Amino acid sequence: ETGVTQTPRHLVMGMTNKKSLKCEQHLGHNAMYWYKQSAKKPLELMFVYSLEERVENNSVPSRFSPECPNSSHLFLHLHTLQPEDSALYLCASSQGQGRTEAFFGQGTRLTVV
Amino acid sequence: RKEVEQDPGPFNVPEGATVAFNCTYSNSASQSFFWYRQDCRKEPKLLMSVYSSGNEDGRFTAQLNRASQYISLLIRDSKLSDSATYLCVVSGGGFKTIFGAGTRLFVKA
């Protein structure tokens, strides 16, 4: 079983809705990540938190808002999304910087209608 | 030029075949390299790290050529269970980790 859990696994939302994705890691890692995986495109790194501080924000639109209240939890708040935001959103965690293995959650498959 | 570029695939091979995946990266300052495997509708999982000296894990061999900025993964004696997408991953230090688009492998009986 993965040490990184994401909820919900599937989400359908309208363009005017507000929803949140949740990620929890049970591995004692100090870095957490949000990735977006669209069909036939590489994983795109969205945000990185290290020790609860955001250290990377890869030009992500403001309709995506991350929150990291502690080293074990990561949220992605969604509002006024567009249909092209439909994708698989993956959370990952690692110990230290990018030299170590990242463990992924099973993802939230998001559909914006 | 893409930061990490992989063979587009898909690769269709019979059981028992040897298959090689290639990956190039653009940032010469990259420090860490990995191969991940992603099964259909599942999350990526680490297959193996790639070291300058090359490394082997059973049927899998990974090579790194820093001068050419090239990484490879060789799978010998392919099994049906090897069918998946293989992702080349490059880390430039810090938390910036770049994934390739992946190469899909189909192993057929």
Strands, DSSP E only, in chain A? Answer: 4-7, 10-13, 18-25, 31-37, 44-50, 53-57, 64-70, 73-79, 87-94, 103-104, 108-112
pLDDT in the model for residue A20: 97
Contact, A89 vs A9, CB < 8 A?
no
Distance from CA of B39 to the nearest CA of A (A): 11
Within 8 A of B101 by CB-CB distance, chain A residues are 40-42
pLDDT in the model for residue A2: 66
Within 8 A of B43 by CB-CB distance, chain A residues are 2, 90, 104-107
pLDDT in the model for residue A46: 93
pLDDT in the model for residue A1: 54
Q: Report how far residue B95's alpha carbon sits from residue B102's, in angstroms, rounded to the nearest whole number.
A: 20
* Of residues A43, A16, A47, the one with CA closest to residue A112: A16
Copy the structure tokens of residue A94.
């690692």
The parts of chain B modelled with pLDDT lower than 50 are none
> From the CB of residue B61, how many other CB atoms can be counted at a distance below 10 Å?
18
What confidence tens digit (pLDDT) does each residue in A12-42 have? 999 999 999 999 999 999 999 999 999 878 8
Within 8 A of A48 by CB-CB distance, chain B residues are 95
B contact test, residue of A104, A106, A108 with most B CBs within 10 A: A104
> Above pLDDT 90, what percent of chain A?
72
